[in-house]
């Protein structure tokens, strides 16, 4: 162990684009197979451990608080599909869930009670993650797909964190795992109606899912056939079975364009048929209902509209079902035999609208809290009048409800239990509005202890993301309680680039408007200081992945606004990555960030905000960067290079790098390991704002 930070060697490497020469002294860290790279990362880990050794007791306390508040032995609410209830069970002391089912009893309508967390009588364990993960540093399930007849299970596993899965088939009648095995598959699969044929995905060298394969169960996988291959590197491919179990859906999409193909599920050897040929800038998705396909689309509808078309002639006219309503963003549609449920977003909040197919009046499901998040949960049955949803807020633990679609009545099936005397009345949530540089009002969601003083004395954690139209809707967190109970205000900045306020919110935070994301976040921090919620020297910013890019950008733009920054798997060297089309995801990302390889304007714009390119000799807030060696979405070397340049360029910067040596983009896979990681970050933040005792 050493009290001195590691010094990364400097090996100048030049690249030239659009007449601009860039020197990258730390490009050598991109070589994962170089022993010097691993040695450097391990030295950084040792330095981080030594630098935070004084927090070991606090880390243990943080971990214990998470553990004590969590019901470790528990069951999810069973969801019915065919003749079975499907659910996941966790067991105290075990890292991973056990995926189970139980036969539906004669006359049984209500899901079985799971209040005591005990296994259900007659339970059948389909997949035990703990058994599969034994002896492994990492474990994740990709596909988990039961055939329509309930006989066959397709599942896939990843033991490295690189999201390349090995697909297998299990006979649920005998318990036998078939010899049918396919490596390097992606998330997603679909069974034919009779369970004889399985459709699955594989990736190309750039980690892009681009091929749909057809496998006839029980035959050698070498005989599998490619059903669809997408040559355009901007597009990803997905595969699924409709809820009605009538069609295999092949979804082809870029960031801004969609194309859907279908195969009748009872004719799995049929060639795919396109619903509507791709049209640049037009996105659509497909749900099946009876004699028609429901089409959610943005053709002439920025916030999306809903139409339908004939199953027999889907390329013909699309008949409007829900007209475009600016300001109401339609997100998805779930079709059932007699109803459909539309997930939407309006005025910064999510919502659900029920629409009967018999012509009866539609209605919105109402919720009492001013800030909340709601969306569909597991709804595998087509012939049903019950819709399952999940609901939560900054103060309300995740709750599972069943909605009677005929009456709108909600039945609470389960609310995540928080042990240790949790009382939601101790907390309060607020909505604030910051004003950005261009006058745009930016929403902020906050939670704090009731009667928290507004005199600037409270520390505050400000979370942000702001990319891909991904919205950071209010959510409940057990680990967060350890912060809020110590007087920390938790706030979420709903900045542009996300989707909180509709499609325009996203459009105004991407490409050549990307800087709005960063200036919005700084405006939120400044507003919270001016409003008395906190003071600049008591604000910690936190974000991950593209939110890590946000962290790196605001560290350069407004370091005086933050006492500390937590950047998790941070995308802090975007220009280098987006210039290299051989890297995973790069070409697909050009419609999000622009194409700096061919467009000099995009190149200059990205260079002007790239965290790595803009490190300077200035005072920086304390920075904790967390990454994973096997991450295929944001490669580990981005934060490693960033930290090395910060140390060399701004010698006074207090910077720590922590690399998970056996994990991927989501960090450690086991729940206890994930809690330890969160405890580590929480302890670091509390120490920084003087709340470590």
Report how far Cα 42 is from the mean position of its chain's Cα atoms.
Answer: 28
* Sequence-ordered list of residues with C-beta below 8 angstroms from that of 463, at least 6 positions apart, any chain: 472, 490, 491, 492, 493, 541, 542, 543, 547
Q: Are 333 and 379 in contact (CB under 8 A)?
A: no
Task: Return the DSSP state at 394.
Answer: S
Sign of torsion over alpha carbons 365, 368, 374, 376: negative
The structure's pTM equals 0.96
* Sequence-ordered list of residues with C-beta below 8 angstroms from that of 21, at least 6 positions apart, any chain: 14, 15
Q: Which of 529, 524, 525, 565 has its CA nearest to residue 689?
A: 565
The position carrying tokens 């799995």 is: 268
Q: Identify the segments of the chain with pLDDT beneath 50.
A: 1
Length of the chain, please? 693
Give the strand order in the sheet containing 363-364: 328-335, 339-346, 349-356, 363-364
Residues with a catalytic annotation lie at 545, 631, 665
Residue 42 dihedral angles phi and psi, to the nearest 5°: -70, -35
pLDDT, residue 2, reads: 56
pLDDT, residue 384, reads: 96
Report how far Cα 691 is from the mean position of its chain's Cα atoms.
Answer: 30
Question: How far, in Å, are 17, 227, 460 from residue 23 at the CA level?
Answer: 12, 45, 37
Cα(623)–Cα(646) distance, integer angstroms: 10
pLDDT, residue 1, reads: 45
Would you state the structure tokens that stand for residue 679, as one six-digit string?
Answer: 């405890």
Cα(561)–Cα(583) distance, integer angstroms: 34
* Sequence-ordered list of residues with C-beta below 8 angstroms from that of 174, at least 6 positions apart, any chain: none
Cα(146)–Cα(541) distance, integer angstroms: 42
* Sequence-ordered list of residues with C-beta below 8 angstroms from that of 549, at least 6 positions apart, any chain: 467, 543, 570, 571, 572, 574, 611
Q: Are 259 and 278 in contact (CB under 8 A)?
A: yes
The tally of CA atoms less than 13 A away on the side-chain side of residue 225 is 10
Residue 94 dihedral angles phi and psi, to the nearest 5°: -105, 140
Cα(76)–Cα(400) distance, integer angstroms: 9
From the DSSP assignment, how many helices (H) and strands (E) are in the chain?
Answer: 12, 38
Residue 565 dihedral angles phi and psi, to the nearest 5°: -140, 130
Cα(87)–Cα(97) distance, integer angstroms: 10
DSSP track, 226-292: EEEE---TT-EEEEEE-TTSSEEEEEEE-SS-EEEEEEETT-TTSPPEESS---TT--EEEEEETTE
């Amino acid at each position: 162990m050493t009290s001195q930070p590691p010094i990364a060697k400097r090996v100048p490497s030049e690249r030239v684009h659009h007449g601009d020469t860039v020197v990258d002294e730390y490009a050598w860290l991109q070589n994962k197979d170089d022993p010097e790279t691993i040695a450097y990362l391990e030295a950084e880990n040792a330095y981080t451990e030594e630098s935070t050794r004084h927090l070991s007791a606090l880390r243990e306390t943080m971990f214990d608080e998470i553990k004590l508040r969590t019901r470790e032995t528990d069951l999810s609410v069973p969801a019915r599909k065919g003749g079975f209830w499907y659910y996941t069970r966790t067991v105290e002391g075990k890292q991973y869930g056990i995926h189970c089912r139980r036969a539906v009893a004669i006359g049984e309508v209500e899901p079985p009670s799971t209040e005591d967390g005990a296994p259900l009588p007659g339970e059948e364990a389909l997949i035990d993650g703990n058994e599969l993960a034994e002896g492994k540093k990492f474990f994740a399930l990709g596909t988990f797909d039961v055939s329509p007849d309930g006989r066959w299970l397709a599942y896939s596993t990843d033991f490295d964190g690189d999201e390349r899965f090995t697909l297998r088939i299990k006979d649920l009648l005998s318990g036998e795992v078939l010899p049918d095995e396919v490596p390097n598959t992606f998330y997603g699969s679909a069974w034919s109606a009779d369970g004889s044929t399985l459709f699955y995905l594989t990736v190309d060298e750039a980690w892009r899912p681009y091929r749909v394969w057809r496998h006839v169960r029980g035959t050698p996988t070498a005989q599998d056939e490619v059903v669809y291959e997408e040559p355009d590197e901007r597009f990803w491919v997905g595969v699924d079975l409709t809820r009605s179990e009538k069609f295999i859906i092949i979804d082809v999409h870029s960031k801004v364009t969609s194309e859907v193909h279908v195969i009748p599920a009872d004719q799995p050897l049929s060639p795919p048929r396109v619903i509507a040929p791709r049209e640049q800038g037009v996105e659509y998705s497909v749900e099946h209902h009876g004699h028609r396909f429901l089409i959610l689309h943005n053709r002439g509808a920025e916030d999306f509209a809903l139409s339908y078309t004939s199953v027999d002639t889907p390329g013909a006219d699309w008949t409007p079902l829900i007209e475009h309503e600016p300001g109401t963003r339609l997100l998805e549609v779930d079709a059932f035999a007699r109803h459909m449920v539309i997930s939407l977003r309006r005025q910064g909040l999510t919502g659900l609208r029920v629409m009967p197919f018999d012509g009866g009046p539609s209605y919105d499901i109402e919720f009492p809290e001013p800030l909340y998040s709601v969306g569909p949960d597991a709804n595998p049955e087509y012939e049903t009048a019950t819709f399952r949803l999940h609901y939560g807020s900054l103060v309300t633990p995740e709750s599972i409800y069943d909605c009677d679609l005929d009456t709108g009545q909600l039945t609470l099936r389960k609310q995540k239990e928080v042990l240790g005397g949790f009382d939601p009345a101790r907390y309060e949530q607020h909505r604030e509005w910051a004003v950005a540089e261009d006058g745009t009002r930016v929403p902020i969601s906050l939670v704090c202890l009731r009667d928290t003083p507004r005199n600037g004395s409270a520390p505050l954690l400000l979370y942000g993301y702001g990319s891909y139209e991904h919205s950071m809707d209010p959510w409940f967190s057990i680990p967060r309680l350890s912060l809020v109970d110590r007087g920390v205000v938790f706030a979420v900045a709903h900045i542009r680039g996300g989707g909180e306020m509709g499609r325009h919110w996203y459009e105004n935070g991407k490409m050549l408007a990307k800087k709005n994301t960063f200036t919005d976040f700084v405006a939120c921090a400044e507003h919270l200081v001016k409003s008395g919620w906190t003071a600049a020297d008591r604000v910690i910013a936190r974000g991950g992945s593209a939110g890590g890019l946000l962290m790196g950008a605001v560290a350069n733009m407004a370091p005086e606004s933050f006492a500390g920054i937590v950047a998790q798997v941070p995308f802090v060297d975007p220009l280098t990555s987006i210039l290299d089309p051989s890297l995973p995801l790069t070409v697909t990302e050009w419609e999000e960030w622009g194409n700096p390889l061919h467009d000099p304007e995009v190149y200059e714009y990205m260079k002007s905000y790239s965290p790595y390119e803009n490190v300077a000799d200035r005072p920086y807030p304390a920075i904790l960067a967390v990454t994973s060696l096997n991450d295929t979405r944001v490669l580990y070397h981005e934060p490693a290079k960033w930290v090395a340049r910060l140390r060399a360029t701004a010698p006074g910067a207090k910077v720590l790098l922590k690399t998970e040596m056996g994990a991927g983009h989501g960090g450690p896979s086991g729940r206890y390991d994930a809690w330890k990681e969160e405890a580590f970050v929480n302890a670091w933040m509390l120490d920084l704002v003087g709340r470590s005792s």
